[in-house]
Amino acid sequence: MRSTRVLNALTFVPALLVALALLAGAAPAHAWSAWGHGVVGAVADDALTPEARAEVRRLLDGRPLAAVGAWADRVRRDRPGTGPLHYMNGPVDRVVPRRADFEVPQGNVYTAILGYAERLADTSLPRETRAEALKFLVHFIGDLHQPLHCGFLEDRGGNTVPVIVDGERSNLHRYWDHDVLATAMAEYRPVAFARALDARIRPAERHAWRTSLDPVDWILEARAYLFIGLYPPTDDGVPELDAQYRATWQPVAERQLARAGLRLAAMLNALYADGASPFDSPPVALPEP
């Protein structure tokens, strides 16, 4: 699989950083809030093949992906073993995580996506187990695309980085979960925003995102934002995340939602077309169902 090659030789990172820098210049954590996870699910719903859509509806008792995007957050307290699966930590001094960062014994969002895709494809497992795997996948692919869920252990993915938002003290992670998309959340329901977002995706982007089926690539893409301005300057104390910060980063957050939804759909389309996960097996075991 391509992920093995990427872990061994990540030669494309400089070009990726340049591209992301141009984009940014133009424009206990629960990533994206329930609204954001609903958007990811709704984008994916509209991009499923008929075969994949039928299988998804069968497993979810007729519900769409948008309806289950926040499920993994709701069960997190009762299933503490899934807590580490919502994020992945990498080094503070380099975009590319070390191999050991991908393979932590407790698991992380990378191993979760690989493991639950494998579990979803295994038709020998009970229907309930595969339905849960699908709901976890919807959520974790969304989580991975929130840049601070691919962040730094030292600040707990931005949770210990103080910021001021609308005159009140908050933290950087909370801002990215909720405030960076606040104007869209106030104007749209998730499904309506997903349709508006989908209409803005250029054909070349759509093709690229739907053919990118390597979670390692997704992690590097998300982490690159941490090094090109997502962390605000702290020279004058606690920074205020003002309208200028939002104007720069809201389009990036929206773009990440679109990427997550299209990649989720592409993964499910491939899985149901081939009868197997499109990913490698996970390097560590998942929590028991």
Q: What are the residues whose beta carbons fall under 8 Å from the beta carbon of 34, sequence distance 6 or more?
A: 69, 70, 73
Model pLDDT, residue 63: 98
pLDDT confidence of residue 11? 36
User: For residue 18, is pLDDT > 80?
Assistant: no
Collapse the DSSP code of 152 into the 3-class scheme (helix H, G, I; strand E, B; otherwise coil) and give the result: strand
The whole-number average pLDDT for the span 164-168 is: 96
Instruction: Judge contact between 117 and 214, C-beta under 8 A.
Output: no
Annotated catalytic residue 143:
yes
35 counts as catalytic: no
CATH no. for 2-274:
1.10.575.10
| pLDDT per residue as tens digits for the range 21-36 | 333 333 344 568 999 9
Give bridge partners of residue 11 from the DSSP assignment.
Answer: none
CB of 249 within 8 A of CB of 123?
no
- For residues 183-200, give the mean pLDDT: 97
Band (pLDDT 50/70/90 cuts) for residue 281 is: very high
Q: Is 177 a catalytic residue?
A: yes
Task: Please report the DSSP string for 265-283 in residue order.
Answer: HHHHHHHHHHTS-SSPPPS
| Cα 253 from Cα 288, distance rounded (Å) | 32
pLDDT of residue 30: 57
Q: Give the Cα separation of 177 and 31 in Å (integer).
A: 5
- The residue annotated as part of the active site, out of 45, 143, 179, 214, is 143
Where would I find the beta strands (DSSP E) of 152-286? 162-165, 168-171
Predicted local confidence at residue 235, as pLDDT: 87
Domain boundaries, the chain: 2-274
76 has catalytic annotation: yes
The DSSP code for 28 is -
Give yes or no: 73 in active site: yes
pLDDT in the model for residue 1 = 44
Q: Is the pLDDT of residue 62 over 70?
A: yes
Structure confidence at residue 156 as a pLDDT band (50, 70, 90):
very high
8 pLDDT more than 50: no
pLDDT in tens, 241-276: 999 999 999 999 999 999 999 999 999 999 999 999
Tell me what pLDDT residue 236 has.
86
Q: Give the chain's mean pLDDT.
A: 91
83-142 tens-digit pLDDT:
999 999 999 999 999 999 999 999 999 999 999 999 999 999 999 999 999 999 999 999
Q: Which of 139, 145, 246, 255 is catalytic?
A: 139
Of 73, 130, 255, 259, which is the active-site residue?
A: 73
Residue 289 pLDDT grade (very low, low, confident, very high; cuts 50, 70, 90): confident
The size of the chain, in residues, is 289
Separation CA 49–CA 270 (nearest Å): 9
> Is 86 considered catalytic here?
yes
149 is catalytic: yes
